[in-house]
A and B are shown apart, each in its own frame.
Chain A
Amino acid sequence: EPEVTQTPSHQVTQMGQEVILRCVPISNHLYFYWYRQILGQKVEFLVSFYNNEISEKSEIFDDQFSVERPDGSNFTLKIRSTKLEDSAMYFCASSSSTDTQYFGPGTRLTVL
């Protein structure tokens, strides 16, 4: 069964450093998303991406965040200057035009 994959599974970084979280969505999907989940809290929407552009973003997704689909298979989330409060589990998801969103296993980001 096709699945969304994410790398790395755990990223530890120093405050102020840049991080790039990587995702490989399901191959025939057209819609891509990033969500985050702070430990013990609910899953929160960050951004959705379709047709090579952002279709919607939340208040959390400020100028420190960016997304990119650098080739036909990868989808990345970049945080330019990490803060302590960016520590969370980051989930990538993808969907086709008629189906629901399938989530990857997540990247745990720890900012020290």
Chain B
Amino acid sequence: QQQVKQSPQSLIVQKGGISIINCAYENTAFDYFPWYQQFPGKGPALLIAIRPDVSEKKEGRFTISFNKSAKQFSLHIMDSQPGDSATYFCAASIGGATNKLIFGTGTLLAVQP
């Protein structure tokens, strides 16, 4: 019940296309859902985060869509660029941003020029 399931494992998108990564959870006590971006050899960096009282959050080209009833959330990257090529992790926590993060298994995104 503490798991966060992420798909797809890998994704290839053409430059300018939309990248969509999905996550699902079981534990309804989760109340904070961040997405992290990780480049090779670097630590995860926060991209965008959402709380369950909001169905969508947009920051630049990155949008989180949140479906509380389905217990799913997704990351949309609009106008994908080669510089977006990285591994993306969804995560969830109970009790907000300061509590332990449960990470998904990651999605390796490759944006082809």
Contact = CB atoms under 8 A, between A and B. Distances in A.
Interface of A: 4, 31, 33, 35, 41-45, 48, 50, 56, 58, 91, 93, 95, 97-106
A31 B97 CA distance: 10
Given A42-B106, A43-B89, A103 B45 contact: yes
Contacts of B45: 103
A50 to B, nearest CB: 8
B43 interface: yes
Given A42-B89, A42-B105, A43-B89, A48 B46 contact: no
A68 to B, nearest CB: 19
Interface in B22-45: 34, 36, 41-45
A93 B91 CA distance: 14
10 closest A-B pairs by CB: A103-B43, A45-B100, A100-B97, A43-B103, A42-B103, A42-B105, A31-B98, A103-B44, A105-B43, A100-B46
Nearest to A94: B98
Interface string B12-26: 000000000000000
Size class of the contact patch on chain B: 20 to 34
Contacts of B104: 42
15 contacts: A42-B106, A43-B44, A43-B103, A45-B101, A48-B99, A50-B98, A91-B43, A91-B44, A95-B98, A97-B98, A100-B97, A101-B97, A105-B41, A105-B42, A105-B43
Contacts of B46: 100-102
